[in-house]
Amino acid sequence: MGKYNDSIIPDFPWETIDSDIERWLEQDIGCGDVTSDPLPLDGVRITAEVLAKSKGVASGVGGFLRILKKSDPELVITKAVPDGTQYNTGEILISVTGDARRLLRAERTALNLLTHLSGIASLTSEFVKLTVGTKAKIVDTRKTTPGLRSLEKYAVRCGGGSNHRPGLDASVMLKDNHVALVGSNLEEAIKRIRQINGHTTKVEVEVDDIDMVENAVGAGADVVMLDNMTPDDGREAVQLVGDQVIVEASGGITLENVRDWAESGVDVISVGFMTHSAPSADLSLEFKSLDS
């Protein structure tokens, strides 16, 4: 077990999701836990352990614990690995002790968040490992779950990846629909964008063939995004523009072809798959009874 890349993982402000946690718990509990509430569990305390069923990278540990503590304020934490930790099958990531009934109420919500974010971190780490030795940087996209973007982008950082823009207000990106609307007036569109946003704003333009690469650079783009093109196209684009602009690859990036893309010389590889389709990490929560 070891830290994946702690130099790029700032602490997540878990207190900012308290209102979300309350909604999540309310959604699951409703008017009460009709299974656990009738059971003779008054005063019963248990130890709960998160067990790894396969290897991966942890993310969301703080959120997991915050959900449990929202249900049981007297929760005792005896072990919690830091986010970004690489773990192996059979390892215990988290161990807590608390009220049985209160933990039963919150276990599924807490585990759902932990497995989802750890799944993203684990998949991201696989992409990152395949780019080692190249200059390519693995980044996410805006293809995130509504309401969970900041958490999912945090999970990408836990896995060693980097974040693309967090929202539409963060940076300029002229995508295919924008380009289709402005047509031959791409240069004028970029000029207008710079007039409104200032000279420090970088402009990214999505392209889908080599001719558009030249057009975008000629129109004043700072970044060209190769959309659903091939690694060979990437090599040609890099040779064509040199160090004039940042070259980003996006669309159709998989674990099978990401190395080829990285070796093409592109600067950035954006992968929506990491957030919108990452499988949940295989983690389970095991309960052990204690004397009441």
Q: Give me the active site residues, please.
A: 108, 143, 175, 206, 227
Beta bridge partners of residue 95, listed in sequence order = 49, 79
Helix or strand holding residue 144 (H, E): none
Instruction: Show the CA angle centred on residue 185, arms to residues 180 and 186, nearest 5°.
Output: 70
CB 41 within 8 A of CB 87: no
State how far the Cα of 261 lies from the Cα of 254, in Å rounded to an integer: 10
Q: Which residues contact 288 (CB under 8 A, 6 or more apart)?
A: 46, 47, 48, 49
Q: Tell me the residue length of the chain.
A: 292
Three-state SS annotation for 216-277: HHHHCCCEEEEECCCHHHHHHHHHHHCCCCEEEEECCCCCCCHHHHHHCCCCEEECCHHHHC
Residue whose entry in the numeric block shows the structure tokens 């207190």:
15
